[in-house]
Amino acid sequence: MIRRESQVLVAWHPSDEFAYTLLAPWKTVFDSASWERLMVRSIVPKLQLILQEFEINPTNQKLDGFYWVMKWASDIPIHLMVDMMARFLFAKWLQVLYHWLQASPNFEEITRWYLGWKELLPKELLANQNIRYQLSCGLEIMSQAVEGLEVVQPGLEENIVYFRVLEQRQFEAQQKAETQQAAMSFSMDYMSVKELIEAHAQEHGLLFKPKPCRRHDGHQIYAFGNLSVIIDALNQKVYAQTEEGWSLVSLQDLVYKHHSSIS
């Protein structure tokens, strides 16, 4: 049965509802493994091609191809659908948003564009953590632009998903480590500086963790309480963001500036 259906779909194009009408009723009949093989063999490659050719154009957006793909959102296994969306749609979507933010844009217009795309996504995709992460990265670079910060280009230097996981693992490892170095100076190496700042934050009951998708001059931006801070590994210095820009600070400055920001 699966082989016969696959042969029928050789010349099929996603703009034709024939395949969906033919296959959708069989989803509950096939076992999950057989259904996934059919999707991988006959449907997913053609939907990937549609997304590869799909153009993100805020000034003249054509959505036919997008709708052809979304029609299958409830029937293709979610991990396959999410992988397609991340690689062939959101990669372009984030790049378009990044370049738009470089051109002194109307932020209200960008916000409407962002919300419009979010509303287009079916509920099963919006409920997926990886899709929500893609949207949050878009929202993050929008926030960077609104705040006048350097907007980090998605995918630049390293894959942002990998970077986020790596930073989180480093942070968790530091939490488990003994941090008895509060009296040491900033002449220590990069990881020790991070440990020292973490210990100082814990001592004062403050949060210290990386901000996902946030960088400045190539450095990861961290939250220290209400402050944004970066660590210059080469020069072994710590900077906090102020109204005037990024300023060199000491441990005592960090706590003082945090409390000043909420007073």
157-190 pLDDT, tens digit each? 434 444 454 455 556 656 655 444 433 343 344 4
Report field, pTM of the whole predicted structure over 0.85: no
pLDDT at 66: 97
Q: What are phi and psi of 246, to 5 degrees?
A: -100, 125
Is residue 204's pLDDT more than 90? no
Is residue 46's pLDDT more than 90? yes
The residue among 111, 125, 107 whose CA lies nearest residue 66 is 125
Task: Report whether 110 contacts 101 (CB < 8 A).
Answer: yes
- Please write the tens of the pLDDT for every residue from 120-137: 999 999 999 889 989 988
Greatest C-alpha distance within the chain:
73
Is residue 60's pLDDT more than 60? yes
The total of other beta-carbon atoms located within 10 Å of residue 67's CB is 11
Distance of CA 88 to CAs 20, 34, 53, 63, 69, Å? 21, 25, 9, 15, 12
The residue among 159, 151, 143 whose CA lies nearest residue 103 is 151
Is residue 207's pLDDT more than 70? yes
